[in-house]
Amino acid sequence: MSPSHYKQIVLNSRPVADIEPDTFRTESRAFSELKPGQEQALVQCTYLSLDPAMRGYIRDARSYLPPVKIGEVMRAAGLGVVVQVGPGSKFKVGDYVSGAWGMQEYAVVKDKHLVKLELPTGVEPLDYLNVLGSSGLTAYFGLKDIGQLKAGEKLVVSGAAGSVGTIVCQLGKAAGAKVYAIAGGADKCKWLEEEIGVEKALDYKSKTFFADVKKHVGYLDVYFDNVGGDILDFMLTRLNKDARIVLCGAISQYNAVKPKGLQGYMNLISQRATLRGFIVMDYEDHYPEALHALRKGLSNGAIKRKFHIVEGGIEQAPKALPMLFSGGNTGKLYVPRRVSFPCEAY
């Protein structure tokens, strides 16, 4: 017996600073609306990916994607299983897929917006929202194209225990760089040193953090920045000549009403350094090259990862999302569907 309704998380109001309890609301929609058309499939969502970029999606500002509208289903990437197909669809019922159908339990999605999961040795479905999803691709192109990291250079990574940061650290190591990881708290730092194998992990919550950076890193060649704010400003004073700063994110500032300004930018002149932003979607034509390398890293164990799963169904997503901004997650953050739902996926 199928359920008559399914749940959606929609944007209820735009937060001024932190995400609030009324930022999102859960809506119930009738299943009868869901009928896949030409070259479409009905997908049951099994996992939602929660990402820092989501804070940007709900801001009413000029950006690389239009803001999510009030009342619209919240933008999100997910994993799912095909439960029904429309005429001409290349998918079969039971196929495991990934796509960006948003925060909802079911969705009708065009074939061209779905990726069928391949699962060679070492790869599991959740990797498609992480190492083989936007996190891995972001790490790969950010480090290669923007960072232009070379063997022997010093790479500093902030947000290093997050999904992108962890991958950057490991790609950096594989490229022959000396990797310094910034994370919050002793546990994350221990994990980065012992499991991920960075040269040194630096705890930004420590009172000696800035001195620690000076002592252990000295000056850096590439800074892969996921956090912005004070740490980015400090790193501007630690640049080697020709240093590159990869502006990937600024998670410390996403909730800020008035972002902390960078005072150290004149060091970019004296050190002939570059501060450059990028958006992974621009590299779509080169995804196959990156995915090949990332899949290989997973298969041979060179890329490790940690999953942080918040159970309870997609209605947990609004409560889990703020963890990304408070450092509450360790590893990639997911919200799975309620286990009691029909149509089992892996």
Segment interacting with a copy of itself (CB under 8 A) among 5-13, 106-114, 265-273, 289-297: 265-273
Q: For residue 210, how many other CB atoms are within 10 A of its CB?
A: 16
In the complex with a copy of itself, the residue whose CB is nearer, 30 or 61, is 61
Least gap, CB of 183 to a copy of itself (angstroms) = 21
x/- binding map, residues 162-201, to a copy of itself, per CB under 8 A?
----------------------------------------
Map tokens 């400003």 to a residue.
Answer: 233
Q: Strand, coil or helix: what is 97? A: strand
Q: Is 271 in the site for a copy of itself (CB under 8 A)?
A: yes
- Looking at residue 72, the DSSP 8-state letter turns out to be S
Q: For residue 88, how many other CB atoms are within 10 A of its CB?
A: 10
Query: What's the CA gap between 122 and 324, in Å, rounded?
Result: 26
Q: Which of 28, 38, 90, 265 binds a copy of itself (CB under 8 A)?
A: 265
Contacts of 66 (CB under 8 A, 6+ apart): none
Query: What's the CA gap between 47 and 190, in Å, rounded?
Result: 28
Least gap, CB of 55 to a copy of itself (angstroms) = 11
Q: Is 269 in the site for a copy of itself (CB under 8 A)?
A: yes
Q: Is 303 in the site for a copy of itself (CB under 8 A)?
A: no
Q: Which of 21, 30, 33, 62 binds a copy of itself (CB under 8 A)?
A: 62
Q: Which of 259, 292, 300, 346 binds a copy of itself (CB under 8 A)?
A: 259
Query: What's the CA gap between 154 and 84, in Å, rounded?
Result: 51
Q: Is the Cβ–Cβ distance between 306 and 174 less than 8 Å?
A: no
Chain residues binding a copy of itself by CB under 8 A are 56, 62-64, 228, 232-233, 247-250, 253, 258-263, 265-279, 282
